[in-house]
Structure 1
Amino acid sequence: MAIVKKAFLSVIFFTILCGFVYTMVVTGISQALFAKETNGRIIEVNGIKYGSELMAQQFTGNKYMWGRIMKLNIVTVNDKSGAKLMYAAPSNLSPASNEYKEIVARRVAKIKAADPQQGDKPIPVDLVTNSGSGLDPDISLAAAQYQIPRIAKYNNMSFEEVQRIIDKCTSHKIWGFLGEETVNVLKVNLMLEHIL
């Protein structure tokens, strides 16, 4: 009976310690030191929340910067009122599959039609492929710069003005050599709309 009592008290103790105390301490530390990141790095302007810097949004208009391909589903999930909800998910397609090749070919055709002034210039690979999560909010600097002529044309801007916006939304390599330079698509588009 004493063993059962000790086991029961151990379960209660570790449930409180690991389930409540640890969680509250870690949450408190993260809120104190990294509040913006902990809360999803939401972009809010004048009380309006436009999205998270950490989560991709799909932009399809010619005046916007386009991000990576997103695998979107608007059929299978409903909210409490019955309305369809859109969600994205990673793709499990093999790069060797015919379906994957068709998706890439359609995206290449769409980009070439939207950016005819680029001629036969190679399209950066991240503009025609999914990210691992399907929700990558950033694209490479090369992919952003590839779109400058189209964005400038449809926003009545100079190439230099678009480049300045891209520069403001570019994350540089950590310590100058780790990782790659990336551009946040949502921030660029909010700046194009004069929201940021």
Structure 2
Amino acid sequence: MDVKITGDRLSIMRDREVIATHTVAGRKHVFVTDPDHVPAHHQQSSDLWSRAYFLRQVHKIGPATVAVITSVLDARPIEAQGYRTCQNILALAKGDNKPLLESVCRQLVDTDTPRAVSYTAVKQRLAAVRAQAHARPTTTDSPPLSGRPVDLAPASRDTRGAHLAGPESFSLDALLGRGSNKREGQA
């Protein structure tokens, strides 16, 4: 077999006769696959991974994760090219991370600007949510990411030990300790 690239065309030749041609991608790391050239054994859905397999798995997580996996599979010209991405996204749900993954997928699906959903996008959003959860104090004694969805509302801040007082407590006299004598004299 010989391979010849001319411009944006890749020609595959056997005994100097062209047996197949493909378009060469203009960017690095981009698949350009002609569905007619996919071997028959890859077109069958009887393999371990298939659209049905991934949809069965993500239905256990939630509807937003189903939408993300569907988006990944639909974005590829050949569905099998998205299987590794789907497997990596599913791996993020291991342990008690299913509710957190569903929350992250909902954020990605609900955005106003449509964009391609990828494993990297899901992983980065998941890391951002975890970092945000670890940065805020909680009202519970348990670690902030124990597998349960994290409530990031301002009401969840730990205010134990906080001293609340009115504005008069922060005047210069009150801070220097002269505020109590002034009040006693007024009484």
TM > 0.5: no
- What TM-score results when the alignment is normalised by the length of structure 2? 0.29
- Please identify which structure carries the higher strand content: 1
TM superposition score normalised by structure 1: 0.28
Whose relative contact order is higher, 1 or 2, with alpha carbons under 8 Å and at least 6 apart? 1
Bigger Rg over Cα: 2
